[in-house]
Amino acid sequence: MGLKLGTVLAGFIDLLNPQKLLVGGALSNIDPRLLASIQQGIYGRAMPLMTRNLMVERISLGAEAGVFGAATLAFIKVLGD
C-alpha cells in the first residue's frame, strides 16, 4: 500500500517540486515501515532532481489536520500571499 501511494505522490512531486511532504491526518499514526515504503515509492519513481532536497515527515495533528490546513489556506487568501 505504501509503495503504491509513494508512486502516485511521485507524480505530484515531479510537478510541484516541494521541499517538504508532510503526512498527517489519518496517516499520522502509521507504522514507520509504511512511511518508509511511501518514501521508497517516491524516491523510486520521482525524478532525482526533484527529490534531492525533499523531506518526508509525519505530523501529529491527527484528525484535525484538515481543519488546520483549511484555516491556513483561508488565512493566506485573506492576507493576499
pLDDT in tens, 34-66: 889 999 999 999 999 999 999 998 877 766 777
Separation of alpha carbons 5 and 34, rounded Å: 10
Strands annotated E in 5-75: 20-23, 55-58
* pLDDT for the residue 1: 83
* pLDDT for the residue 20: 92
* pLDDT for the residue 25: 67
Domain with 28, as residue range(s), is 2-79
Pick left, alpha or beta for residue 56 (phi over 0 → left; psi -120 to 50 → alpha; otherwise beta): beta
* pLDDT for the residue 13: 95
Mean pLDDT score, 6-18: 94
Q: 4: burial class by Cβ within 10 Å (0-12, 13-18, 19+)? A: exposed
Domain count of the chain? 1
* pLDDT for the residue 55: 93
CATH number at residue 59: 3.30.420.40
Looking at this protein, which amino acid is placed at residue 74?
A
Q: Judge whether residue 70 has pLDDT over 90.
A: no
